[in-house]
Amino acid sequence: MKSRIVLAIFALPFFGVGVWMLFSISSMAYDAWQMQSWHPVSAALHQAGYATHRGDDSTTYKAYASYSYVIRGERFTGERVSLGTGGDNIGDYQQDMGNRLQAAFASGTPISVFVNPDNPADSIIDRKLRWPMVGFHSLFLLVFGGMGLSMLVFALRTPRARDATLAEFKDKPWLLNPDWQSATLRSNSRLAMWAIWGFAAFWSLISAPLPFVAYDEVVNKQNHLALVALLFPLIGLGLVAWAIKQTREWLRFGTTPLTLDPFPGSIGGHVGGTIDMRLPYDSATQFVLTLSSIHSYASGSGKSRRRKESTLWQDQLVAHTEPGPNGMRLVFRFDVPEGLKISDAQPEGDSNYLWRLHLAADLPGANLDRDFEVPVYATSQSSIDISDRQRGAADGIIDKIFENLVRKRVQISNDGLGKTLLYPMGQALFSNFAGILVGGSFAAAGYYITMHEGRPVFGGVFGGTGALVAIAALYMVFKSLEVTRVGDTITSVRRWLGIPLGKKTLRRPDFVRFEKGSNMQTQTGRQTIRHYRISAIDKTGNSVVLGENFHGELEARAAIRMLESELGLHEQKQQDIHAPHTTRHETRFSLNKEMFDRKPAAGNN
């Protein structure tokens, strides 16, 4: 209840701005319509021009005039120039109008004003609507008013928090969540689609005037630094494209209801169920399901405060498919070990725990990408209607899927003397080219600020940061790794644009174990993907990189199996290692062991 009130109070100022802008636009439109019946009359100017008002961060202008006119022998005076009453800097309207009136006043030329026939004391010089001003006000109406209205609706429609101390929730705490009242759950894809559209619209409306501002700054004022502003509408176009993609996905697959068996999902038992798809049945289509136990927490403070997620446990499988009532039905069952965190039915505070089921499939047209937040509790329950045959594809099939993904990232050749594994240039092209574009733009802006604006400190920091980003992205795009095995010697060579930068060797008899490492992660929707490299550790503790850019822990494990096969490396048992080790390394068996070594839960069918 408290959070709803706080959100509503926070939303009111935004909504108020929207209401005020709606009133302003409506008033101008009504006045312009009403003034169409006013009569033109010749008037004499007594003073005219425009005033300049300089503030801390902007300068505004206001055309002014004092004039008189005669109606049926009676003299009237007026000062109203246009529909707006205040100054502004939207285009050059105020300066142009002020200069035109000042020129007429200096030459003694009479002007034409429009007079209300019902009240001759009402008059105006320009009765036309200023469409740039209407657009500017509409921007505030849509952005601030829309944001305030959305927050108010969300606050009013959000169900009240339930009292967890009531007896009805003591044994069934998942019922505290209004979305968990039955075993059938809906994905959040529709809400996510509208959220993306909302953010894309917000960003696009905010950045829409920037191309016109940049044009004026570059063409009329020779301020080429303003070209940086064009990045923002380009990002808006990217967001709109993302929203269109999400809409196509939603229209194609619909709601995809999930029915849990058991309900709720069980720690120390099963998390299983069925998902009905609006697709023709095809046994060859593979649907990958990822079940994750996640810790969601707030990090940082002030403007740096962010909500982050940490995956505590994760498992993947390929769903069993069969004909369903709407076309295709997916059947799955995960075996969940004991000792994991239960779901928070009513998340509160900075730290809470959740379970997420992610469904993905590469399909012609729009790919499938859905998330379900599922209730999982320590009930030690097993699935009733899902057999071992239906639990999902066999582990061997899953391993094969990820091994195929791994082999797509590496080019393997054998020249008769040895074997070569090449990880080519061009990894993660989209994100790296985005880094080059953004970093290069900031570097160019910093150069301009330093050389033409005479601000070397600010320009140096601004441009230097951009240059570092661009250089790092360039390195990532054009780097490659070549691993060769000739006899018992394995050589790893790092290259950039084909130029060798570093070289390390490893003798197969000295190999002890594999080590995985991750120093980068990317976010796709609500799914976090860690990028791993695989290194070999020898008896002296030296590390040699054998592979990189593997997406996720299961792909990292598949990469280790591939390296074992292609390079003939086999981990030594601890008792076979005679050289002392001063550094503790993470082996492949610490890739979250429960994820890969499933143990049947009690009561398996």
Give the three-state DSSP class for 316.
strand
Q: Please give the C-alpha separations between residue 195 and each of 6, 17, 435, 524, in angstroms, as whole numbers.
A: 21, 22, 25, 15
Same domain for 237 and 261? Answer: no
With respect to residue 198, please indicate whether it lies within any of the assigned structural domains. yes
Q: Which pLDDT band holds residue 579 (cuts at 50, 70, 90)?
A: very low
Same domain for 301 and 361? Answer: yes
With respect to residue 86, please indicate whether it lies within any of the assigned structural domains. yes
Same domain for 275 and 234? Answer: no
Q: Which of 458, 464, 444, 272 is nearest to 372 (CA)?
A: 272
Tens digits of residue pLDDT in 351-389: 899 999 999 888 877 788 888 999 999 998 998 888 766
**Radius of gyration in angstroms for the set of CA atoms belonging to the chain, rounded to a whole number:** 33
Tens digits of residue pLDDT in 174-233: 998 888 999 999 887 777 788 888 888 878 877 777 777 677 667 766 766 667 777 778
Rounded average pLDDT over 111-135: 92
CA torsion through residues 221, 222, 226, 227, sign: positive
What is the pLDDT at residue 495? Answer: 94
Per-residue HEC secondary structure of 194-243 comes to: HHHHHHHHHHHHHHCCHHHHHHHHHHHCCCHHHHHHHHHHHHHHHHHHHH
Same domain for 323 and 449? Answer: no
* Alpha helices (H) along 409-455: 429-452
With respect to residue 233, please indicate whether it lies within any of the assigned structural domains. yes
pLDDT, averaged across the chain: 83
CA pair distance 317, 402, nearest whole angstrom: 11
pLDDT over 70, % of the chain: 87
- Of 113, 133, 153, the residue that ends a domain is 133
Rounded average pLDDT over 284-313: 82
Q: Quick check: 139 pLDDT over 50?
A: yes
Same domain for 489 and 541? Answer: yes
CA torsion through residues 24, 30, 36, 38, sign: negative
Residue 304 CB-density burial (10 A; 0-12 exposed, 13-18 middle, 19+ buried): exposed
Q: Quick check: 1 pLDDT over 60?
A: no
Rounded average pLDDT over 480-506: 94
CA pair distance 317, 97, nearest whole angstrom: 70
With respect to residue 478, please indicate whether it lies within any of the assigned structural domains. yes
Q: Quick check: 260 pLDDT over 80?
A: yes
What is the pLDDT at residue 441? Answer: 80
Same domain for 520 and 576? Answer: yes
Tens digits of residue pLDDT in 52-80: 998 776 789 999 999 999 999 999 999 99
With respect to residue 452, please indicate whether it lies within any of the assigned structural domains. yes
Same domain for 12 and 75? Answer: yes
Same domain for 454 and 548? Answer: yes
Q: Quick check: 519 pLDDT over 80?
A: no
With respect to residue 400, please indicate whether it lies within any of the assigned structural domains. no
Query: Could you identify the residue written with the tokens 């020249």?
Result: 415
Q: Which pLDDT band holds residue 34 (cuts at 50, 70, 90)?
A: very high
Per-residue HEC secondary structure of 50-95 comes to: EEEEECCCCEEEEEEEEEEEEECCEEEEECCCCCCCCCECCCCHHH
CA pair distance 358, 210, nearest whole angstrom: 38
Same domain for 523 and 452? Answer: yes
Structure tokens at 466: 């951009």
Same domain for 351 and 489? Answer: no
Tens digits of residue pLDDT in 531-572: 889 999 999 999 999 999 888 777 888 999 999 999 999 887
Among 349-358, 387-396, 579-588, which is the least confidently predicted range? Answer: 579-588
What is the pLDDT at residue 275? Answer: 93
Contact 224, 218 (CB under 8 A): yes
Rounded average pLDDT over 588-597: 35
Q: Please give the C-alpha separations between residue 431 and each of 91, 240, 477, 535, 563, in angstroms, as whole numbers.
A: 37, 17, 9, 25, 27
Contact 540, 509 (CB under 8 A): no
Q: Please give the C-alpha separations between residue 242 and each of 211, 362, 526, 551, in angstroms, as whole numbers.
A: 21, 17, 14, 22
CA-based end-to-end distance of the chain: 44
- The residues near 71 (Cβ < 8 Å, ≥ 6 apart) are 41, 115, 120
CA pair distance 132, 138, nearest whole angstrom: 10
- The residues near 592 (Cβ < 8 Å, ≥ 6 apart) are 313, 314, 553
Same domain for 378 and 420? Answer: no
Say which residue, 599 or 294, is predicted with more confidence.
Answer: 294
pLDDT over 90, % of the chain: 37
- Of 114, 133, 152, the residue that ends a domain is 133
Q: Which pLDDT band holds residue 581 (cuts at 50, 70, 90)?
A: very low
With respect to residue 601, please indicate whether it lies within any of the assigned structural domains. no
Provide the domain limits for residue 480.
Answer: 413-596
CA pair distance 332, 274, nearest whole angstrom: 7
**CATH number for 327:** 2.60.40.640
Q: Quick check: 509 pLDDT over 70?
A: yes
Structure tokens at 508: 């197969």
Rounded average pLDDT over 75-101: 91
With respect to residue 156, please indicate whether it lies within any of the assigned structural domains. no
Same domain for 47 and 72? Answer: yes
Rounded average pLDDT over 9-21: 86
CA pair distance 341, 343, nearest whole angstrom: 7
The count of domains in the chain is 4
Q: Which pLDDT band holds residue 444 (cuts at 50, 70, 90)?
A: confident
HSE toward the beta carbon, residue 476, CA cutoff 13 A: 20
Which phi and psi (to 5°) does residue 198 adopt? -60, -45
CA pair distance 184, 466, nearest whole angstrom: 49
Strands across the sheet containing 511-524: 511-524, 527-538, 543-551
What is the pLDDT at residue 438? Answer: 82
Torsion-angle region of residue 262: left (phi > 0), alpha (psi -120 to 50) or beta? beta
Helix (H) or strand (E) holding 427: none
Among 125-139, 245-259, 394-408, 489-503, which is the least confidently predicted range? Answer: 394-408
Q: Which of 103, 102, 67, 65 is nearest to 82 (CA)?
A: 65
Q: Which of 383, 362, 185 is nearest to 288 (CA)?
A: 362
